[in-house]
Amino acid sequence: MPTILNPAPGRKLPETIFPLCDYLTPNESEAEILTGLRVASLADAERAADALLARGARNVIVTLGAQGALIKNASLREHVPAVDAGPVVDTTGAGDAFIGSFATFLGEGLPEREAVKRANLYAGLSTTGVGTQKSFYDRARFDEEWAARGKS
């Protein structure tokens, strides 16, 4: 069973945890705390991902808010842009929406890139409502949005 570690809230972690992570999913500030490297650009995110891979994580996904996410592992480096889901009302819980939906899509057997693309949309949609769980789309509504955007 794959392991996913979302290191939130950001704090230093023991070095022994990184080799246990199939997927390590920090946002920019969490990546900075974990690596000591500034993360203010895509190139910075890649350097931080490389540092986390060197510590033993097998896949690193740095979430970049409105810039999407960077997927990095030994054989893949890909920036997956964010999706314009509509007017942003509240970003509270968007990271949780991303991680939860990523885990769901990955668990359904989708490859990382596809799971991240869908999770980007899910997180984006969560920002169009107020609050956290009450702003999250149910699966049927999400699948309609995905299909409507020609992504089925």
143 is catalytic: no
Selection from 79, 124, 119, 128 nearest residue 100 by Cα: 119
Task: Look at phi and psi of residue 13 and say left if phi exceeds 0, alpha if psi is from -120 to 50, else beta.
Answer: beta
Could you read off the pLDDT of 45-92 as tens digits, one per residue? 999 999 999 999 999 999 999 899 999 999 999 999 998 888 888 888
Helix/strand/coil for 56 = coil
Least confident of 7-16, 117-126, 129-138: 129-138
Over residues 94-105, mean pLDDT: 94
**In terms of pLDDT, which residue wins out, 142 or 5?**
5
Catalytic residue among 22, 50, 90, 96: 96
